[in-house]
């Protein structure tokens, strides 16, 4: 079993919660979200907000919090081979109450089908809210260009 090695990112101004499935090997090494250089998460969210792509972990934290975004993962611990979502077994879900009890989250999004699957299975009924599934920013989702991802991810903009 591998446990999630870093905490959620949020503050009292967070209005949007984006959930991944479980951190990749690179993210676990860096102790921060979307650490693999081929993952398009940072390019996509920067494009959505028409900002430059944050580079350092500190810049990434400031970018997310200044845009009202909380970031966490559906899975607290699991068995996983490398970074392969398809190998995930024996899932223990994260407790989202730490975020939901401290922020006025308006919408929950999941980054890809694996996060959606485990959110529906373990968290939706507890949370009492559906999550909007966005196409995965993972390099494994090669059919989606950054431009196409950005168009879909504009759904995170609260209107």
pLDDT at 159: 64
Instruction: Kindly indicate the confidence band of residue 139, based on its pLDDT and cuts at 50, 70 and 90.
Output: confident
Please check whether residue 19 is in contact with residue 115, taking contact to mean a CB–CB distance below 8 angstroms: yes
Give this prediction's pTM: 0.95
Phi and psi torsions of 79, nearest 5°: -95, 130
Active site residue 39: yes
Q: Which residue has the tokens 């929950």?
A: 108
Q: Where are the alpha helices (DSSP H) in the chain?
A: 25-30, 41-48, 57-66, 97-100, 113-118, 124-127, 146-153
| pLDDT above 70 as % of the chain | 99
More confident residue, 125 or 158: 125
pLDDT at 70: 98
Mean model confidence pLDDT for the chain: 94
Enumerate domains of the chain plus CATH numbers. Answer: 2-156 (3.40.470.10)
Which of these, 9, 53, 38, 2, lies nearest to 136 by C-alpha position? Answer: 38
Written as six digits, the tokens of 22 are: 């479980």
What confidence tens digit (pLDDT) does each residue in 52-106 have?
A: 999 999 999 999 999 999 999 999 999 989 888 888 999 999 999 999 999 999 9
- Tell whether the model's pLDDT for residue 158 goes beyond 80: no
Give 85's DSSP letter.
G
Q: Measuring CA to CA, how many Å separate 5 from each of 22, 48, 79, 113, 123?
A: 10, 28, 14, 22, 20
**Catalytic residue (choose from 13, 39, 67, 141):** 39
What confidence tens digit (pLDDT) does each residue in 99-109 have?
A: 999 999 999 99
Written as six digits, the tokens of 134 are: 């966005």
| pLDDT above 90 as % of the chain | 87
């Amino acid at each position: 079993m591998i446990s999630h090695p870093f905490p959620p990112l949020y503050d009292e101004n967070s209005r949007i919660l984006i959930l991944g499935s479980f951190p990749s090997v690179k993210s676990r090494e860096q102790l921060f979200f979307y650490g693999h250089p081929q993952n398009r998460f940072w390019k996509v969210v920067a494009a959505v907000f028409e900002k430059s792509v944050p580079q350092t972990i500190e810049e990434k934290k400031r970018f997310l919090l200044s845009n009202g975004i909380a970031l966490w993962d559906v899975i607290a611990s699991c068995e996983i081979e490398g970074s392969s979502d398809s190998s995930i077994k024996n899932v223990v879900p994260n407790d989202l109450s730490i975020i939901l009890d401290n922020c006025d989250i308006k919408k929950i999004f999941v980054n890809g089908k694996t996060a959606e699957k485990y959110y529906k299975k373990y968290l939706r009924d507890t949370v009492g809210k559906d999550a909007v599934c966005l196409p995965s920013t993972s390099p494994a989702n090669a059919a989606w260009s950054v431009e196409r991802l950005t168009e879909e991810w504009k759904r995170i903009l609260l209107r």
